[in-house]
Amino acid sequence: MEEIIKKAEILIDALPYIRTFCGKTLVIKYGGAAQTRDDLKESFAKDVVMLNFIGIRTVIVHGGGPKISATMEKMGKKPEFVNGQRVTDQETMDIVEMVLGGLVNKEIVSLINRHGGKAIGLSGKDGGLISAQKKLTRRATPETGTDEIVDLGLVGEVSAIDPGIIASLHASGFIPVIAPIGVGPKGETLNINADFVAAAVASSLEAEKLILLTDVPGILDKKGLIMSTLKKTQVGRLVKDGTIKGGMMPKVQACLDALDAGVKKTHIVDGRVPHCLLLEIFTKEGIGTEILA
């Protein structure tokens, strides 16, 4: 009996959060271990389905970099990166689209549907969802140390999101699952960083939350402790002193972009924790790091 009462207490504790977020939109960037470990895939899908059953609208934007690289190597093509970004020629873009828009996207859709959800898979090419422009990056030349502009090929950045298709799917009770592929001004297909796509989608929908799943506990201080809450004004200092660096940089920038565009809260959450979404949304303590305006 005590165990049953404890379960009831858990539900009662979640009630204020259910009331707060019912009818609101959450955009979730799904990647890392949560996307590769079978047990975490299951808990993620169950979390998403539960959120939708209680009236919280969700949008999933997924990555798939390791799967792309593995597929490229199987096809005899070596992945190449500059500043952590994949160099994408036409052949690589074909593989990216096949893996992200096909294999990975449909696996996520199938998993959510198997647990009782109604997911629909999209890429940014569907319904003109993601308009993009070509992205260039800079790197220091070994000889002189000066910056040079590097052409990454068919790599893009979001120029506009058309939220109409997402709104239509939500109105019909569907869960959009989006592959981060956009369309350039000449109709070319462009590969886009999923963190920035998630931020742009959240901004276009005026989402309540942007949640980025990662393979770390959150943003750590110099002592390795999680910083549970950060203000936007604190981030610059943490970047300057090297506390925020490396792979955390694009995630933090995506959060800042979303906050600047009116998203209420952003979260960097450890996707290796089972049911991390429910723990973040329905508990006072939460997990990971939240970045606020």
How many of the other CB atoms lie within 10 Å of CB of 229?
11
* Of residues 95, 11, 92, the one with CA closest to residue 50: 11
Percent of the chain with pLDDT over 90: 77
Encode pLDDT of 114-155 as tens digits. Answer: 999 999 999 999 999 999 999 987 776 666 666 778 889 999
How many separate domains does the chain show? Answer: 1
Q: Looking at the domain assignment, is residue 1 inside a domain?
A: no
**Which of 55-59, 160-164, 224-228, 245-249 shows the lowest per-residue confidence on average (mean pLDDT)?**
245-249
CA-to-CA distance for 215 and 174, rounded, in angstroms? 28
The answer to whether position 158 is within a domain reads: no
Domain presence at residue 61: yes
Domain, as residue range, for 271: 21-80+91-125+173-180+193-287
Give the tens place of pLDDT for each residue, 184-211: 999 999 999 999 999 999 999 999 999 9
Instruction: Say if 293 falls within a structural domain.
Output: no
Q: Name residues whose C-beta falls within 8 Å of residue 241's C-beta, 6 or more positions apart in sequence.
A: none
List the CATH number of the domain containing 223: 3.40.1160.10
Q: Is residue 59 part of a domain?
A: yes
Q: Is residue 143 in a domain?
A: no
* Separation CA 280–CA 265 (nearest Å): 12
Is 167 within the bounds of a domain? no
Give the pLDDT of residue 189: 97
Q: What is the mean pLDDT of residues 16-23?
A: 93
> Under a CB-based contact definition with an 8 Å cutoff, are residues 124 and 180 in contact?
yes
56 Cβ contact list (under 8 Å, min separation 6): 18, 21, 22, 23, 24, 25, 26, 281
Instruction: Answer yes or no: is 64 within a domain.
Output: yes
- Over residues 226-285, the pLDDT tens digits come to 999 999 999 999 999 999 988 899 999 999 999 999 999 999 999 999 999 999 999 887
Q: Crossing angle for the helix pair 248-260 and 232-240, nearest 10 degrees?
A: 150
Q: Rounded to two decimals, what is the model's pTM?
A: 0.93
> Are residues 189 and 130 in contact, defined by beta-carbon separation less than 8 angstroms?
no
